[in-house]
């Protein structure tokens, strides 16, 4: 028996009927609303859990710099350089509530001998001068013996004024802002052995590979689980209500299954697109009152970046094709298993059988992701059906295989899909008429052989 265009007659009719039933179903509408609420709440919840700024004023947020306890700093500048003291309060959150006063603008004569009669316990006096004998600059900080702030606050004050003096010296030498930033940016040192460095680099790479594999595998697992559940439920419901027998009068068996698969695919992909849109809107709204950049920072901290993913239009195409092929395989299997059931009580056992099959591919993908250096294992998981739909695209994205091996994997998956479609074309009508206990694999094989025998007898 060959698959012809006649086998797909009535596909559109089944597609429209099934999609209409799914969209209008009360249970599906309630489920969609719940998903939309979860998607809308997920962005602000994750942002706040990851430490996103909740919109507090400077110095009040969880991650904001703690303000110093100094209310005023009187600065005597004898360095010969102009210091923009107001810049400190504008650019440094620690000193946002601190006033910096240039003593040259005051009538009082400030010195190390007279400052204590002019400041309060919450104030400080700082003298910057050039030592011509030692050819250096000195910064002296003075407070009352009983002060209302810590020594650390005073050290921070001296540090920020020293940095301001360095910038003023560079500006006088015609240094560009980019050059000044490069010379004044802080740096961190890290001392470790060669083996520790190599081990850390390997751990970072594994974390990135595992993260990419998990994200894709979970997405495909959810897609396949939804597809299996919807298809099995629709098939069994139509079979139990005798609706399938009425449809088969004018629709070929294969067209019935393909129509259902396409309708479920449209519904699920439409649902996913809607959820992405809801999350996008939630992201924009959340950005108005919280720092959503922490989400990207967490992803980058896991080592997942555009460089390792090689993000491009080709990457998107690879993921879409892989998802569709995986969906088609699971959908056809779900249709066959669903038609082997007779009552709605068989929905859960039938769905469990498909989920266990999909979970097997999921577990293989997650357990072998760390063995990218083993070419034999990589080729096995890339080409073996069920596992390949989880492994092949990820192995291609992280560079374990090339486009040639990925294409071979797709060809094998297409061959499996065509084989399943061929089996459906032969036994789907008989399965839809079957009444009895849930059919096992042996029953399918027997029915397929009987179908082949009948075809030979007709000839």
Q: 298 to each of 73, 242, 293, how far by Cα in Å?
A: 39, 53, 9
pLDDT of residue 20: 86
List the one residue out of 134, 97, 135, 422 whose CA is nearest residue 258: 422
pTM over 0.85: no
Residue range 105-118: mean pLDDT, rounded: 88
Tens-place pLDDT, residues 142-197: 999 899 988 888 998 998 898 888 888 888 776 666 666 665 665 555 665 555 55
Tens-place pLDDT, residues 308-343: 555 678 888 888 899 889 988 888 888 888 777 777
Q: 166 to each of 49, 132, 141, 381, how far by Cα in Å?
A: 39, 17, 17, 59
Q: Are strands 72-78 and 123-131 parallel, antiparallel or unpaired?
A: parallel
The three-class DSSP label of residue 267 is: helix
Sheet strands (E) in 117-205: 123-131, 136-142
Lowest model confidence (mean pLDDT) among 41-55, 77-91, 279-293, 341-355: 41-55
Report whether pLDDT(23) > 50. yes
The larger pLDDT score, comparing residue 140 to residue 238, is at 140
Q: Alpha-carbon distance 410 to 389, whole Å?
A: 8
Which range in 24-28, 293-297, 391-395 is most confidently predicted, on average pLDDT? 391-395
Tens-place pLDDT, residues 34-83: 988 988 888 888 877 766 555 444 444 444 457 788 999 999 999 888 88
């Amino acid at each position: 028996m060959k698959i012809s265009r006649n086998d797909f007659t009535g596909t559109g009719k089944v597609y429209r009927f099934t999609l209409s039933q799914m969209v209008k179903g009360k249970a599906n509408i309630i489920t969609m609303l719940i998903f939309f609420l979860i998607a809308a709440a997920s962005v602000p919840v994750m942002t706040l859990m990851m430490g996103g700024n909740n919109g507090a004023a400077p110095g009040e947020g969880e991650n904001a710099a703690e303000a110093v306890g100094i209310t005023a700093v009187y600065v005597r500048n004898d360095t010969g350089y102009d210091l923009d003291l107001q810049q400190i309060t504008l650019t440094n959150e620690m000193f946002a509530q601190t006033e910096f006063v240039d003593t040259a603008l005051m009538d009082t004569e400030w010195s190390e001998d007279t400052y204590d009669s002019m400041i309060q316990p919450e104030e400080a006096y700082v003298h910057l001068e050039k030592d011509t004998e030692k050819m250096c600059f000195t910064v002296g900080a003075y407070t009352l013996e009983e002060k209302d702030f810590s020594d650390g606050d005073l050290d921070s004050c001296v540090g920020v004024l020293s940095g301001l003096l360095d910038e003023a010296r560079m500006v006088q030498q015609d240094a560009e802002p980019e050059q000044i930033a490069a010379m004044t940016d802080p740096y961190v040192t890290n001392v470790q052995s060669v083996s520790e460095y190599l081990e850390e680099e390997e751990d970072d790479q594994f974390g990135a590979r595992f993260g990419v594999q998990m994200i894709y595998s979970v997405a495909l697992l959810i897609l396949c689980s939804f597809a299996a559940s919807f298809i099995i439920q629709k098939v069994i419901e139509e079979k139990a209500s005798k609706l399938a027998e009425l449809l088969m009068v004018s629709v070929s068996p294969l067209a019935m299954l393909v129509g259902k698969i396409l309708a479920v695919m449209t519904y699920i992909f439409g649902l996913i697109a809607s959820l992405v849109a809801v999350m996008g809107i939630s992201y924009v709204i959340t950005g108005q009152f919280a720092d959503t950049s922490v989400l990207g920072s967490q992803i980058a901290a896991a080592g997942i970046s555009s460089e390792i993913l090689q993000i491009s239009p080709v990457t998107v195409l690879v993921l879409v094709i892989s998802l569709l092929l995986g969906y088609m395989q699971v959908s056809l299997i779900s249709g066959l298993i669903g038609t082997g059931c007779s009552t709605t009580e068989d929905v859960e056992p039938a769905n469990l059988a498909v989920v266990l099959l999909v979970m097997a591919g999921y577990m293989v993908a997650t357990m072998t992701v760390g063995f990218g250096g083993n070419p034999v294992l990589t080729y096995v998981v890339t080409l073996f059906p069920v596992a390949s739909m989880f492994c092949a695209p990820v192995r291609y994205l992280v560079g374990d295989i090339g486009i040639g091996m990925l294409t071979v994997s797709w060809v094998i998956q297409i061959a499996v899909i065509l084989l399943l479609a061929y089996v459906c074309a032969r036994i789907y009508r008989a399965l839809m008429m079957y009444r009895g206990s849930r059919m096992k694999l042996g029953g399918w094989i027997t029915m397929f052989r009987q179908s082949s025998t009948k075809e030979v007898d007709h000839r």
